[in-house]
């Protein structure tokens, strides 16, 4: 389903407004009720009140984290579905989540007890290594002109990494405890990691933006892309690098939040059409909005505790994804 060119800027603007609304809701709503006046006062004229401490010390950091993580997952999901031509692909297709989990349990089983931000960097390293391994196997596989090799390599390496995670965690109780904590995707459990990971996020976003023209050409097929001057494997190299950087950074910052990378690309495609030059900015805006709304719901429905953002995304997003899949107006990849 195509969109008139004139309507796309307006649609992206609406996505930006939705993100602004999600940011405000994330700052204003939580376990402790706060008024809009208290939010404005905390942001622009803090006086050290309990509301200021709650908003600036707790809600603002996790809102910023949700902004970054959601943008990473949204853009990485668009790239994953575009390069694999698979409508149910997400960054985890490259083994990113399993690679990060393997790094976490391996470091813990080795007897190390690193701080949270160091463990986050280890998770990113594991995700990146596994993604590059998947890409390397797919690159040398027979029939390299297709994308099936990516899917098969991703499934195989993910299964291997998952088996190693299970084996290590069963043999080491400390690793099992750390894995259980890490696997609960949350915007509140990776404080301090953003300062170390943001350059990787910036690099991934730049590569994704550079990759949009090639993605549009690859949508016509490898032969057509070559005729248009785009080398398919060079384009996929750039795309996979962007997915690894963005997906690995998201996992390092918030743990495995899988569903956002699956649903956001479909929403973006539904709103702006198949042109990746518009899909990527739409996904970069919708991803944080979806993650922040899910995080806010999780904080409200289980007061004074909270429900993991991953659980909320699965419960709320699954029916939406089914509705999109059943819709006859869904844009084909």
Query: What pLDDT is stored for residue 223 in this prediction?
Result: 78
- Distances, alpha carbon 313 to alpha carbons 237, 248, 296, 310, 326, in Å: 30, 19, 11, 5, 19
pLDDT of residue 50: 83
- For the stretch 46-105, pLDDT in tens is 888 888 888 888 889 889 999 999 999 999 999 988 888 778 778 887 788 888 888 888
Q: What percent of the chain has pLDDT over 70?
A: 91
Two structure tokens written together for 30: 């939580």
CA-CA distance, 240 to 246, in Å (whole number)?
Answer: 10
Distance, CA of 74 to CA of 323 (rounded, Å): 19
What sign results for the dihedral spanned by CA atoms 297, 298, 302, 305? negative
pLDDT of residue 12: 94
Burial label for 139, CB within 10 Å (0-12, 13-18, 19+), is: middle
In this prediction, residue 145 carries a pLDDT of: 47
Could you tell me how far CA 100 lies from the centroid of its own chain?
A: 14
Where the chain has pLDDT below 70, the residues are 1-6, 116, 141-147, 181-182, 189-192, 324-325, 327-333
Cα–Cα nearest to 130, from 185, 93, 163: 93
Q: What is the pLDDT of residues 145-172, one digit of tens each?
A: 456 777 788 888 889 988 998 888 888 7
Q: Which run of H or of E encompasses 257?
A: none
Q: What is the CA radius of gyration of the chain?
A: 20
Distance CA 278, CA 272 (A): 6
Structural domains of the chain, ranges and CATH numbers in brackets? 7-326 (1.10.3470.10)
Closest by CA to 183, choosing from 258, 269, 241, is 258
204 and 80 in contact (C-beta within 8 Å)?
no
């Amino acid at each position: 389903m195509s969109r008139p060119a004139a309507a796309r800027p307006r649609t992206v603007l609406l996505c930006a407004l939705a993100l602004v609304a999600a940011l405000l809701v994330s700052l204003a709503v939580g376990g402790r009720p706060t008024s809009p006046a208290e939010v404005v006062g905390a942001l622009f004229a803090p006086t050290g009140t309990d509301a200021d401490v709650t908003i600036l010390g707790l809600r603002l950091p996790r809102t910023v984290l949700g902004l970054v993580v959601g943008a990473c997952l949204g853009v990485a999901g668009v790239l994953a579905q575009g390069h694999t031509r698979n409508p149910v692909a997400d960054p985890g297709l490259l083994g990113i989540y399993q690679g990060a989990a393997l790094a976490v349990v391996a470091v813990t089983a080795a007897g190390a007890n690193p701080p949270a931000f160091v463990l986050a960097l280890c998770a990113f390293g594991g995700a990146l290594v596994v993604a590059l391994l998947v890409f390397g196997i797919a690159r040398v596989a027979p029939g390299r002109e297709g994308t099936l090799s990516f899917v098969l390599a991703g499934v195989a390496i993910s299964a291997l990494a998952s088996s190693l995670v299970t084996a290590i965690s069963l043999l080491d109780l400390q690793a099992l405890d750390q894995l259980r904590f890490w696997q609960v995707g949350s915007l509140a459990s990776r404080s301090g990691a953003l300062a170390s990971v943001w350059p990787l996020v910036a690099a991934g976003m730049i590569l994704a933006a550079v990759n949009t023209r090639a993605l549009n050409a690859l949508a016509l097929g490898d032969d057509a892309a070559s005729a248009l001057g785009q080398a398919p494997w060079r384009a996929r190299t750039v795309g996979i690098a962007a997915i690894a950087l963005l997906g690995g950074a998201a996992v390092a910052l918030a743990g495995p939040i899988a569903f956002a990378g699956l649903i956001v690309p479909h929403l973006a495609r539904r709103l702006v059409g198949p042109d990746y030059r518009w899909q990527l900015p739409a996904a970069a805006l919708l991803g944080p909005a979806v993650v922040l709304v899910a995080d806010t719901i999780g904080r409200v429905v289980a007061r004074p505790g909270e429900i993991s953002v991953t659980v909320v995304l699965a419960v709320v997003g699954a029916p939406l994804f089914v509705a999109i899949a059943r819709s006859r107006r869904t844009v084909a990849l």
